[in-house]
């Protein structure tokens, strides 16, 4: 008896319980031919994740029934059944039977009711910065709970806005968990952690931990976990229930049948028309009422960092910018599967992030562009972690720095990229600050904001010294305006500093720069820090604020992008904080001896070049 026949017999013997769904690997000897081999069948598949065998062969992980598996194999795709019955995998992952009601609390994960109660408690404990909203409703009239965190949560201040959401697919509780975890971090760290306090004071951060409440509750309360329920719960065509909400958004909806399905029976059914689903239309209207600069749409599982487009492999707008963001995500969470959705995962159309990035007319009105990203959390299953809090907490810790990072870049965020000593007028012309010397000091700032709205205007700064070895004689300076992704300095109006005679070459002095600017009509103040080494021409820079444990961890990268090495001349190698590590002789082309991380190189003449380099882990 072959495997397909055996599976069919299991299906027939269990007809009362519905078709048995299996977890199956589809091996992709040539991924580029997958769409040709499967055709529209690709759009019917319930793809959970993908991976690579020890021999380097890529594969897709799908949940499928016996008849569909036979159709896949008839297309010439090699397969192997990993779990003949996904309910058995569920029992192995959670220790619970998916059909007996014992998993209503989702174990360590939040179920819908626990998520609701947690948001309400955060709002009650932190009423000055947290506010809940239940305006958005599902098909079954459940609240799509939304939490806003900002220093004046009860009113719209015009501050840059950023959006985090989870559980668009009902079987993905870790995506809910990280939204609640980051919201809790913002609320609990406000007033004590300098980075968190700055973010809450200067951003409006919105959370929808469960975008699909009906499907989420169906999994917890009605045994939907027995089939890894994914869609919403609206009956479109009896007996078929549900639409894949992440195939129902308006941009490139129904682009082809490989990236979504027109069949109501499919797990990737896109619905009868764009924005047909109450949940998607609610979010559609919600986003039209806001101007979200950036968003992360959390899913599970597989450990991916992705940017649009999902519908096709065409280059999206500003691909280098999008790639830089997910590369930074990767440096924090170590997810090797990082890149454009279409090329990194599989074709999908009608997705949220494609619609959010698209610059199109929306009901006749120009649509606001949101820089949107998808992170697929977790590595082994939708439900794994229910009985393993250490695993869940580790995934959260890997991705919280990315939440902070994107919140920062959702508006003007200034980084100190260079500090320069000029002693040619008032000093001994060595290009460094020596004991007993007076010199001009000028700095370069970069506006790291993602969105074109966030130009830093009316920029000024005040310099102070945390050390008596250096006195600031002229502390204030104006700066030119900085459009997003651009830099400016105060070279024409430098600070004036004096080193006391008692200082020794090699002494490190900490300087503090308080920058004030206007971003989209809102005044922001941002502290920055620099290290000045007496008698050294290499001046280190450091970024602030950074509260305890909030500095992103440097992890081994699997790619190198953006580094430009000098063809000639001497270069200086700096670490991520801007400290001088070494001088690079002409012709240097690699730094493989260094630990994995982010480094900078600049020429001996600072104005010539300065590049960011990612050194991969080995």
**What tokens were used for 51?**
């991976």
**CA–CA separation, 311 vs 73, rounded Å?**
25
- Distance CA(260)–CA(253), nearest Å, equals 8
C-alpha dihedral sign at 132, 136, 139, 141? positive
Distance CA(241)–CA(212), nearest Å, equals 14
Cβ–Cβ contacts within 10 Å for residue 224, how many?
A: 22
Quick check: 208 and 235 in contact, CB under 8 A?
no
DSSP per residue, 27-53: E-SSGGGHHHHHTTHHHH-EEEEEEE-
Can you say how many angstroms the Cα of residue 475 is from the centroid of all Cα atoms in its chain?
37
Distance separating alpha carbons of residues 447 and 454, to the nearest angstrom: 9
Centroid of chain to Cα 48: 20
C-beta separation of 50 from 302 below 8 A: yes
Cis-peptide into 283, omega within 30 deg: no
The rounded distance, in Å, linking the Cα atoms of 73 and 75 is 5
Q: How far apart are CA 336 and CA 169, in angstroms?
A: 23
Q: Which regions of 104-247 does DSSP assign to beta strands (E)?
A: 130-133, 146-149, 161-165, 204-208, 235-237, 240-241
Which string of DSSP letters, residue by residue, matches 109-121? S--HHHHHHHHHH
23, 159, 376, 543: the catalytic one is 376
Q: List residues bridging with 471 in a β-sheet.
A: 498
Contact 602, 541 (CB under 8 A): no
Pairwise CA distance, residues 170 & 80, whole Å: 26
User: Which 3 state secondary structure label does DSSP give 304?
Assistant: strand
- Cβ atoms within 10 Å of 154's Cβ, excluding its own: 11
Count of CB atoms within 10 A of residue 88's CB? 14
376 is catalytic: yes
What backbone torsions phi and psi does residue 97 show, to the nearest 5 degrees? -90, 125
| CB under 8 A, 24+ apart: contacts of 590-593 | 591/615, 592/618
Q: Locate 523 and state its tokens.
A: 């005044």
Q: How far apart are CA 387 and CA 371, in angstroms?
A: 35
The residues assigned a catalytic role are 376
């Amino acid at each position: 008896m072959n495997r397909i026949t055996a599976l069919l017999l299991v299906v027939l013997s269990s007809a009362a319980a519905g078709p048995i769904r299996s977890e199956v690997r589809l091996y992709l000897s040539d991924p580029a031919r997958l769409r040709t081999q499967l055709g529209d069948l690709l759009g019917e598949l319930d793809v959970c994740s993908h991976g690579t065998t020890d021999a380097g062969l890529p594969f897709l992980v799908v949940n499928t029934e016996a008849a569909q598996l036979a159709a896949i194999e008839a297309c010439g795709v090699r397969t192997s059944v990993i779990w003949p019955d996904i309910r058995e995998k569920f029992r192995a992952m959670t220790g619970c039977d998916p059909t007996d009601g014992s998993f209503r609390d989702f174990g360590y994960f939040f179920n819908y009711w626990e998520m609701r109660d947690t948001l309400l408690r955060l709002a009650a404990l932190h009423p000055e910065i947290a506010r809940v909203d239940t305006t958005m409703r599902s098909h079954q009239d459940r609240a799509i709970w939304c939490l806003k965190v900002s220093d004046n949560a009860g009113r719209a201040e015009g501050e840059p806005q950023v959006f985090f959401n989870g559980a668009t697919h009902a079987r993905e509780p870790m995506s809910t968990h990280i939204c609640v975890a980051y919201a809790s971090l913002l609320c609990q760290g406000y007033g004590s952690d300098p980075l968190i306090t700055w973010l809450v004071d200067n951003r409006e951060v919105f959370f929808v931990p469960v975008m699909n409440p009906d499907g989420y509750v169906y999994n917890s309360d009605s045994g939907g976990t027995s089939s890894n329920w994914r869609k919403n719960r609206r009956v479109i065509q009896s007996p078929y229930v549900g639409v894949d909400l992440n195939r129902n958004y308006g941009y490139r909806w129904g682009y082809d049948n490989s990236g979504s399905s027109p069949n109501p029976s499919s797990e990737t059914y896109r619905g009868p028309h764009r924005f047909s689903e109450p949940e998607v239309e609610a979010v559609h209207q919600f986003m039209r009422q806001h101007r979200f600069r950036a968003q992360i749409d959390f899913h599970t599982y597989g450990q991916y960092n992705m940017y649009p487009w999902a519908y096709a492999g065409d280059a999206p707008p500003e691909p280098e910018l999008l790639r830089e963001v997910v590369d930074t995500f990767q440096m924090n969470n170590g997810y090797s599967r990082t890149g454009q959705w279409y090329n990194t995962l599989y074709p999908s159309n009608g997705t949220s992030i494609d619609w959010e990035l698209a610059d199109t007319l929306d009901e006749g009105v120009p649509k606001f562009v949101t820089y949107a990203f998808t992170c697929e959390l977790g590595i082994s299953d939708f439900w794994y972690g229910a009985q393993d809090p250490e695993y869940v907490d580790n995934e959260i810790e890997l991705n919280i720095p990315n939440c902070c990072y994107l919140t920062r870049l959702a508006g003007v965020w200034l980084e100190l990229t260079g500090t320069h000593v000029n002693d040619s007028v008032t000093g001994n012309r060595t290009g460094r600050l020596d004991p007993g010397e007076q010199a001009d000091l000028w700095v370069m700032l970069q506006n790291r904001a993602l969105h074109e709205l966030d130009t830093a205007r009316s920029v000024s700064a005040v310099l102070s010294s945390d050390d008596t070895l250096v006195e600031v004689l002229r502390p204030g300076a104006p700066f030119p305006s900085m459009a997003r992704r651009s830099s400016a300095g105060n070279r024409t109006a430098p600070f004036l500093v004096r080193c006391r005679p008692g200082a020794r070459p090699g002494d490190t002095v900490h300087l503090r720069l308080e920058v004030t600017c206007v971003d989209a009509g809102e005044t922001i103040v941002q502290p920055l820090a620099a290290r000045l080494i007496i008698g050294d021409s290499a001046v280190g820079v450091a970024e602030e604020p950074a509260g305890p444990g909030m500095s992103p961890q440097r992890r081994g990268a699997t790619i190198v992008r953006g580094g430009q090495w000098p063809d000639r001349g001497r270069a200086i190698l700096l670490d991520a904080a801007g400290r001088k590590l070494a001088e690079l002789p002409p012709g240097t082309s690699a730094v493989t001896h260094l630990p994995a991380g982010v480094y900078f190189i600049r020429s001996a003449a600072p104005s010539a070049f300065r590049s960011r380099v990612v050194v991969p882990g080995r």
